[in-house]
Chain A
């Protein structure tokens, strides 16, 4: 981790000193244990604020759309796929972007950590190789980082950036994708699926953090803000509307979502959003053999028509 951090700082310093970019977007230490926060570095001497560790969970591709400046950005595998997907939609100009790629071993899920310490406050957290030493008032616990990674990180099959101008470390080993969590949910009886989804979405407060954290969500007027016609109500008390909000949001990402997990990480209420997003990622793979943002050549799944596209959804004549 330390080596990566220094490499990122040096890369940023050089880019800014040589005027190759106007700003470098990366991470700096957060204001609480187990958090980092996005930072916008504009002067070479500020590059030493940049950090890299197991808490750099945000998808920085979210800050890259329709920008005039030359930007340097620090990306993980998932973020780099979002960048590719956005480039295909003309939201990012490749010539104005310098990508510092970081092979990623996964980010920590603070909700899992909170589960382990039963919601008690963590006053200090220290990373020691593969373990995390957590200290709170009256307790100290060492846990394995592998046990508390975000589920999207544990299942990740693109840990190495697919696009970059420089890589600051050796690539890490990849694993193949695994949609068994979705297959398991699909196999449940309809009533059980309905009950689970209703329970999860009853926690929703309609803050739209999921929508705003997603790099692929960038409509100037979101459908939830439309009042003529009012596609869905504004109230968070209507669980059916909360479900409909997710259904439409997730469907707007069909074939575009890279399963970066930013939506689930942003949700303050801890709703299991990936059970919906991953369903469409799985379908895109099964129906069209595509994965969003893995290379520049593939055409986006839902913007392409082939005569032999599967059509299992049609009414059988």
Chain B
């Protein structure tokens, strides 16, 4: 439901990823992270929720 809500609110599809990984599945974990990182890099910069950290008073703009 969280993925649905975030994508509904404007986070690009493909940025929110879930997988069951146990603590003993180190190799698989590394592989998964690599895949997700590649996928997200290809999507480019995020323009959805919390895209710009404008800060509350604009000082970070």
Give me the interface of A with B, judged by CB distance under 8 Å.
Answer: 185-186, 190, 193-194, 197, 233-235, 237-238, 240-241, 243-244, 247, 250-251, 254-255, 276, 279-280, 283-284, 287, 302, 313-315
B30: Cβ under 8 A from any A Cβ: no
> Are A243 and B5 closer than 8 Å at their CB atoms?
no
B54 closest partner in A (C-beta)? A238
Please give, as numbers and ranges, the residues of chain A lying within 8 Å of B50 by CB-CB distance.
240, 244
Write the nearest CB–CB distance from B49 to chain A, whole angstroms.
Answer: 6
Give me the interface of B with A, judged by CB distance under 8 Å.
Answer: 1-6, 8-10, 12, 16-20, 32, 35-36, 47-58
Please give, as numbers and ranges, the residues of chain B lying within 8 Å of A302 by CB-CB distance.
1
Complex Cα gap A178–B59 (Å) = 44
Known contacts A190-B10, A193-B9, A315-B18; is-contact A243 B49 (Cβ 8 Å): yes
B56 closest partner in A (C-beta)? A235
> Are B48 and A190 closer than 8 Å at their CB atoms?
yes
Complex Cα gap A247–B49 (Å) = 10
Number of A-B residue pairs having CB atoms within 8 Å of each other in the complex: 77
Would you list 21 pairs from A and B whose C-beta atoms are within 8 A, ordered by A residue? A194-B48, A197-B9, A233-B55, A238-B54, A240-B49, A240-B50, A240-B51, A240-B54, A241-B56, A244-B49, A251-B1, A251-B5, A276-B8, A279-B5, A280-B1, A283-B5, A284-B1, A313-B2, A313-B16, A314-B19, A315-B19
Complex Cα gap A315–B5 (Å) = 17
A195 closest partner in B (C-beta)? B10
Complex Cα gap A132–B47 (Å) = 46
- Which 8 residue pairs spanning A and B have beta carbons closest together? A235-B56, A194-B10, A313-B3, A315-B19, A238-B56, A233-B56, A313-B18, A315-B17
- Given contact pairs A240-B52, A279-B4, a sample of 7 additional A-B residue pairs in the complex whose CB atoms are under 8 Å apart: A190-B48, A197-B10, A237-B58, A238-B55, A247-B6, A250-B5, A315-B32
Please give, as numbers and ranges, the residues of chain A lying within 8 Å of B49 by CB-CB distance.
240, 243-244, 247
B50 closest partner in A (C-beta)? A240
Please give, as numbers and ranges, the residues of chain A lying within 8 Å of B57 by CB-CB distance.
235, 237
> Are B18 and A314 closer than 8 Å at their CB atoms?
yes
Complex Cα gap A240–B57 (Å) = 12
Please give, as numbers and ranges, the residues of chain B lying within 8 Å of A250 by CB-CB distance.
5
Complex Cα gap A194–B48 (Å) = 7
> Are B5 and A247 closer than 8 Å at their CB atoms?
yes
B2 closest partner in A (C-beta)? A251
> Are B12 and A190 closer than 8 Å at their CB atoms?
yes
Complex Cα gap A186–B10 (Å) = 10
> Are B36 and A315 closer than 8 Å at their CB atoms?
yes
Complex Cα gap A233–B59 (Å) = 14
> Are B20 and A314 closer than 8 Å at their CB atoms?
yes
Complex Cα gap A162–B47 (Å) = 43
Write the nearest CB–CB distance from A284 to chain B, whole angstroms.
Answer: 7
Pick the contact of B9: A247, A283, A314 (CB < 8 A).
Answer: A247
Complex Cα gap A198–B4 (Å) = 18
Complex Cα gap A234–B55 (Å) = 11
Complex Cα gap A237–B61 (Å) = 14
Complex Cα gap A237–B56 (Å) = 6
Please give, as numbers and ranges, the residues of chain B lying within 8 Å of A313 by CB-CB distance.
2-4, 16, 18
B19 closest partner in A (C-beta)? A315
Please give, as numbers and ranges, the residues of chain B lying within 8 Å of A238 by CB-CB distance.
54-56
Complex Cα gap A87–B18 (Å) = 32
Complex Cα gap A259–B15 (Å) = 29
